[in-house]
Amino acid sequence: MSMNLVIVESPAKAKTIKKFLGNDFEVESSYGHITDLAKKDMGIDMKTLEPIYQVSPDKKEIVKKLKSLAKKADTVWLASDEDREGEAISWHLYNELNLSPEKTKRIVFHEITKNAIQKAIQNPRDIDVNLVNAQQARRVLDRIVGFEMSPILWSKVKAGLSAGRVQSVAVRLICEREKQILDFVPVASYKIEANFYNKTQNILKSKLNVDFEKYEEALGFIQIVKDKTFSVSNVETRPGKRTPSAPFTTSTLQQEASRLGFSVSRTMRIAQQLYESGHITYMRTDSVNLSEEALNAAVHVVTEEFGKEYLQTRQYTTKNKSAQEAHEAIRPTNLAVKEAGGDDAQKKLYHLIWRRTLASQMSDAKLERTIIDITTPDVKEKFTARGEVIVFDGFLKLYQIQNDEDSEDEDSGLLPKVENGEILQLDRMTGEEKFSRPAARYNEASLVRKLEELGIGRPSTYAPTISTIQKRQYVEVGDLEPKQREVRKIILNNQNITESVEVENYGADRRKLLPTDIGLVVNGFLTDHFPNILDYGFTAKVEEDFDSIAGGNENWKEMLGDFYKDFHPHVEEVKETADRATGERLLGTDPESGKNIYARIGRFGPMVQIGESEDEEKPKFAGLMKGQQISTITLEEALKLFELPRYLGDYEEKKVEVNTGRFGPYVKHDGKFVSLKPKEGDEISTITLERAVDLIEAKRESDRNKFIKSFETEEPVIEILNGRWGPYIKQGKENFKIPKDTEAAQLSLEQVLKIIAESGSKPKTKAKTKAPAKAKAQTKTKAKKK
């Protein structure tokens, strides 16, 4: 019996595929990419722009095992995903395992089902070198940009920062939106609303068709009409419809799943699990197309579940010219299955995909829209009431459309019946001051929508980009507390006019992407000195170039060469000529010394400073507290920071102080630190000694529960502690894992020292290898002709 080796990227995918193949197939996982660009010298031969690959240290044993299995196999089937990353994984496997064309086959599938796998086995193809080259071009270009621009940020802004081609553009979008919001000046206007009774004493809600710019104008209007008689001047009813959305692409799934409370990265992680378990089709796609098999299945399910009148078969086409990641939308592999997945999150996401797919093949919802005009003699303005009634629910029976957070739906539902000329009785009229609003801050879902709209990135890059800018601390997901302002209000009731001033909350935001001080300064520096790299049009053009390479229409080395010949000289020029960027902002002068007070980026992050760096007397520094920013901190807030550390009193004959540091506000006592708990009302300016003592004692109790045992040695003391993931060994600042099935409390000093020694003996260097020239040539020979 012949032996077949199938290699996929993940163990979960391997487990599912194994169920559909016979005993003569062995399915193994490469655990993602087995190689990466070498760290030394950028991992690129800069003379030829040829990437230099090395096997990742954590993949050496995997490669060794796969090589051994490949030698025994009669045929090796490379079954990684069909997108560019998947194609590159197969190409690297081919090279590193020293496979031959005669015994290697490349197979692809959009779903992990028995039919799809068997069909793929019957229709193998060659490795598509054009897709591989598109992936290499992206990887090399991004490495060049990151490795050449990041050191400039280290010297000109702050050590440890990084720049990236797509991540920097994403940060720019968020910074520019924040600037728009901070610069926005609200404009007040006065909106008039009125409630009327019809002849059957049902309430009819309406709005005036114009807004007034001034309070006096609104008040004057209400005074004019307070004794007037209102009547219905026109009733217009017209049919309408709502059409279902297309099946999910990667970006639309990420946007819609945000309504489930899922972040973009969590959505992709859950979707990957559903795909690898065989429940949904491939989840990285910008296609809205459904296969004939899926369309036929939808016909059956919709007819059985809802009836023939709810069926309307449709085939959608994408508006995105660059759609290329896969050939089908995200859908269930079996539409007859309503629920699938392991945990609750998987079940929720699967059900969302199931409903969206079926709804796309259902009838339009039929509506009846009504507009009622209400007027009074000698007044040109009119009140309008709008309503909408669903005559036939169609796809809405399964999938409700939700409005965006900032949209205002004027149609208020069912209206009471009225006739032309009918006299109405005024119940109440209200004139209220309203303020214009700035554009909404981005959340993860709306940022994905904007990136897609601008042509920046592709389905496989949205989630990593958004995760990266948060990990780099250029952006954070945060909440903003509301501010308060006064609004003027006029109420007409029983022909009496009442004027009042009320307080309203505004400006609150929840789970929005907010730029940090570092993000704002880095963005300012990069947009000033690398305007082309951060240009939206340039970034989109690069994506088009990658698409062209993937289609075999452009040479990837020439594309990189054209970019680098202009980019590198500019990098060298910025190194020499650019000034240091700190985001410095003058807040005012110190009342005591008369010296200037600045807010700026320092060595350890955002801070305020009294005095000049050139002064004979050293400047004073204080770090900003959480929630404070260079761009918005006031002089008064800055002065309070210099009151720290704040002495609270003594406890156990030792000083108790509060201060703020890199990780937020804390209590210091006896050389130990305890974080304040803002969610419990702790504030650095108001916390009492009694509260600080409570925090100190709570921390001690927590530490007692954490402690298992310790050993006194000549080196730093060794402790065995309970951690989040179980017991571990701590020596100084180093932590060491305790092997499974080991009773931590019973460990002797000798056993602990052995664990520490063995942990320190693991190899830390990376082996550098190039893809074999012979394998490269063979791959090119096998390349699919475009």
Catalytic center residues: 282
Which residue is it, tokens 């199931």? 354
CA distance 666 to 654: 16
Bridge partners for 666 per DSSP: 659, 675
* Three-state SS letters, 395-452: HHHCCCCCCCCCCCCCCCCCCCCCCCCCEEEEEEEEEEEEECCCCCCCCHHHHHHHHH
Q: How many CA atoms lie within 13 A of 418 on its CB side?
A: 35
Backbone φ and ψ of 348, nearest 5°:
-65, -45
- Contact assessment for residue 98 and residue 132, using Cβ atoms and an 8 Å cutoff: no
Distance CA 98, CA 87 (A): 17
Q: Which two tokens stand for residue 44?
A: 């690129």
Residue 370 identity: T
- Two tokens, residue 312: 């309307």
233: left (phi over 0), alpha (psi -120 to 50) or beta: alpha
Bond before 645 cis per omega within 30 degrees: yes
**385 C-beta neighbours (distance < 10 Å), count:** 23
Q: Cβ contacts of residue 773 below 8 Å, gap of 6+?
A: none
Q: For the chain, first and last CA: distance in Å? A: 36
Beta bridge partners of 196: 204, 426
Residue type, 648: L
Residues 6+ apart with CB under 8 A from 170: 447, 451, 456, 465, 466, 469, 475
Inter-residue contact 434 to 133 (CB < 8 Å) = no
CA distance 192 to 383: 9
Chain-centroid distance, C-alpha 300: 37
Q: How far is CA 194 from the centre of its chain?
A: 42
How many CB atoms sit inside 10 A of residue 723's CB?
Answer: 12
Radius of gyration, alpha carbons of the chain = 33
d(CA 631, CA 532): 26
**Beta partners for residue 486, in sequence order:** 503
Q: Strands, E, within 531-639: which ranges?
A: 585-589, 596-602, 605-610, 620-623
Sorted by sequence, the CB contacts under 8 Å of residue 750 that are 6+ apart come out as none
Going by C-alpha positions, the residue among 449, 24, 459, 65 that lies closest to residue 275 is: 459
Strand order across the 605-610 sheet: 585-589, 596-602, 605-610, 620-623
H helices present in 307-414, as ranges: 344-359
Return the ∠ at Cα 661 (arms to 658 and 665), rounded to 5°: 45
